[in-house]
Amino acid sequence: MTMMLRGILASVFVVLIHLPVCKAQPATAGFLRNGVTAHRGNSGEFVENTLSAFQSGIDLGADWVELDILRTKDGKLVVLHDRTTERVGDKNLDVAESTYEELRTVDIATDFRRRTGKTREECPPQTIPLLDDALGLIMKQNQTRVSIQPKMDVVAEAVALVRKLGAERWVGFNDGSLPYMTEVKRLAPEIPVFWDRGANTDIDDDLRIAKQRGFESLVLHSSGVTSEKVRKIKAAGIEAGAWTVNDQATMEALLDLGIDRIYTDHPRRLLAIHAGRSFRAVSCEGAYPRHLQGIATNDRDAIYWCFTDVLLRTDINGKVVAKVPVANHHGDLCFQDGKLYVAVNLGAFNKAAGQADSWVYVYDAETLKELARHKTPEAVHGAGGIAFHDGKFFVVGGLPEGIKENYVFEYDPSFTFRKRHVLDSGYTLMGIQTATFAEGHWWFGCYGKPQVLLKADPSFKVIGKWAFDASLGIAGLPDGRFLVAQGPSQKGVGSMGRVVPAVPDANQGLRIIEVVSPKLK
């Protein structure tokens, strides 16, 4: 080896040993962790064990959806709970004795329509999906995973399919069968197992077996949950779950006992309870050069704060986890499908048409990376606020002095302009600053002395107007409460942000029910 080559290699070695070591991220990084398992999908609102029920569970933000599988006569793995189609369908076929093509002739929405009173137009016929199809749906996103419950001895086939599709990181298994769950761990030790237990099993035996087999969770029948059992499960380093719970009072009681996970046909209901327990009065960490313009949440674990030239994501306690500088003037914002949509005006506000430069900027809600920009020239006095409802975006904004009405601009998801709605609101200073659709109504925050809160029905007919300040941000929560933003400032320090929960009130529009603790200010 020449001296020159030795020198080059030595230099390379020195560089390499000084490079930072990148720790491998866990395979499940990025998935939600909220303890909400949508039992057979969102089966309270959609036909159980269908792709629409699973998609709804994903859209709502459940961290797991659960499904059941059986094997057909021709060896297909299908998603169905019962061994026959009698309970859910319009004909009675035995799954194990029928081909998949025969099973596809069954309308499994029949019982759902009968129980809910829905028409065929409201709930069209549905067919039994294949496990392949369900896994394909789940693998299109990275927030929700699927727990597979084998209703017959098909564990090996299911694991083989998971391996074939490369779906391991999206998948878990659950059942009360010890042989089935043991087989999962033998074939795929990295896949989580939720071992279902009855109300009266011996918790000490259950824990001993779970630890021996490497099971991650014990899911108890809800009627058998006690504080002592929960304490023992958690002390063993295992997740404590309960199945299957649909009424709010029992959900609340189980959470009070310390249960980590609840299986439910009504994930929306459980998520609302979590939101009610999570979102409280809190201050945003830090101070900023310009004032707060709007807030949003993802209904789960994040609050988004938009100051005039800074965009932040915090946890529910107000601790900053992501922050980016943005163009002046960023305004109000909304969260939709993992993205943030912010009303932006790069021109003049509240002036005659032609002086504004209105946009909607789109950001990744996790990283705050900018994804897109959409021009919204219809907001001729400056885009200041935005909300999402019924598959469409609605932009509000500035207003010159003397105009006695406000305007709401409707856009489709690609931001093609659809319609201008007129609010018979009377004059509000600088138009509308913030907007949200919640509890079946529109809510708009406006500047002024005093500030004004407007309430309108879905057709934009104004039905309430109060002296209440929601001009710095307003967001509806799943449990029927609101978060209202406040923006104190301190000379020499800067502008700050905080949110306080409020509830609808006939006399004052919204009523604040909790203030920020002095130690959090």
Contact 51, 129 (CB under 8 A): yes
- pLDDT of res. 9: 38
* Percent of the chain whose predicted confidence (pLDDT) is above 90: 88
Integer Cα distance of 107 and 119 in angstroms: 13
Looking at residue 300, what is its pLDDT?
Answer: 82
Tokens 């069209």 found at: 124
Using DSSP, state whether 329 is helix, strand or coil: coil
Q: Biggest alpha carbon distance in the chain?
A: 89
Give tens-digit pLDDT for 61-102.
899 999 999 999 999 999 999 999 999 999 999 999 999 999
Q: Is 34 in contact with 61 (CB distance < 8 Å)? A: yes
Residue 235: CB atoms within 10 A of its CB come to 9
Would you state the pLDDT for residue 480? 86
131-168 pLDDT, tens per residue? 999 999 999 999 999 999 999 999 999 999 999 999 99
- pLDDT, average across residues 98-108: 99
Alpha-carbon gap, residue 396 to 384, rounded angstroms: 6
List beta partners, residue 330: 344
Chain centroid, CA 78 distance in Å: 28
Distance CA 314, CA 307 (A): 13
Whether residue 258 has pLDDT greater than 70:
yes
Q: Give residue 354's region: left, alpha or beta (phi > 0; psi -120 to 50).
A: left
Q: What share of the chain is helix, strand, coil (3-state, %, to 5)?
A: 25, 35, 45
- How confident is the model at residue 358, as a pLDDT? 98
Structure token digits, residue 411 = 């856009």
8-state DSSP, 169: G
CB within 8 A of 445, min separation 6: which ones? 385, 432, 433, 434, 435, 451, 452, 453, 469, 470, 471, 472, 473, 474
Of residues 175 and 24, more confidence is placed in 175
Please provide residue 68's backbone torsions phi and psi, each rounded to the nearest 5 degrees: -115, 145
Q: pTM value?
A: 0.71
In this prediction, residue 19 carries a pLDDT of 30
Task: Look at residue 135 in the predicted model and tell me its pLDDT.
Answer: 99
pLDDT, tens digit, 9 for 90 and up, residues 189-217: 999 999 999 999 999 999 999 999 999 99
Q: 505 with 492: CB under 8 angstroms? A: no
> Is 512 a residue whose pLDDT tops 90?
yes
Structure tokens at 231: 């304490």
Is the per-residue pLDDT at 20 higher than 60?
A: no
Least confident of 27-36, 50-59, 309-318: 27-36
Query: What pLDDT was estimated at residue 518?
Result: 61
Burial class of residue 490, CB neighbours in 10 A (0-12, 13-18, 19+): exposed
> Highest-confidence range of 32-36, 57-61, 443-447, by mean pLDDT?
443-447
Question: Does the pLDDT value for residue 21 go beyond 70?
Answer: no
Rg (CA), the chain: 27
Whether 16 shows a pLDDT value over 50: the answer reads no
Give the whole-angstrom CA distance, residue 99 versus residue 101: 5
CA distances from 108 to 47, 116, 120, 129, 138 (A): 8, 14, 12, 10, 21
**3-state SS track over 402-433:** CCCCEEEEEECCCCCEEEEEEECCCCCEEEEE
Sketch out the chain's domains with CATH numbers.
Answer: 36-276 (3.20.20.190), 281-520 (2.115.10.20)
Give me the pLDDT at residue 28, please: 60
pLDDT in tens, 290-303: 999 999 999 888 99
For 243, phi then psi, to 5°, come to -130, 160
For the chain, the distance separating the N- and C-terminal CA atoms, rounded to the nearest angstrom, is: 67
Residue 17 has pLDDT above 60, yes or no: no
**What pLDDT, on a 0 to 100 scale, did the predictor assign at position 335?**
97
Q: Residue 22: its pLDDT value, please?
A: 32
Structure tokens at 148: 């597979």
- pLDDT bin (cut points 50, 70, 90) of residue 27 is low
Say what the pLDDT of residue 478 is: 83
Which residues, other chains included, contact 411 with Cβ-Cβ below 8 Å and sequence gap of 6+?
360, 374, 376, 392, 393, 394, 395, 417, 418
pLDDT over 70 at 338, yes or no? yes
Determine the pLDDT at residue 479: 82
Note the pLDDT of residue 276.
83
Q: Is the bond preceding 450 in cis, omega lying within 30 degrees of 0?
A: yes
Alpha carbon distance 380, 363 (integer Å): 23
Rounded to an integer, the average pLDDT of 410-434 is 96
- pLDDT-derived band of residue 448, with 50, 70 and 90 as boundaries? confident
- 256 by Cβ neighbours in 10 Å (0-12 / 13-18 / 19+) ranks as exposed
As a whole number of angstroms, the distance between CA 379 and CA 409 comes to 7
CA distance 521 to 518: 5
pLDDT of 26 > 50? The answer is no
Helix (H) or strand (E) holding 185: helix 178-187
Instruction: Give the integer Cα–Cα distance in Å for 93 and 509.
Output: 55
Amino acid 7: pLDDT: 41
The HSE-up count of residue 28 (CA atoms within 13 Å, CB side) is: 16
pLDDT at 5: 37
What pLDDT shows up at residue 66? Answer: 99
**Span of 23-32, 218-227, 271-280 with lowest mean pLDDT:** 23-32
Strand partners, 492: none
Q: Is 119 exposed, middle or buried (0-12, 13-18, 19+ CB in 10 A)?
A: exposed
Mean pLDDT value across the chain: 93
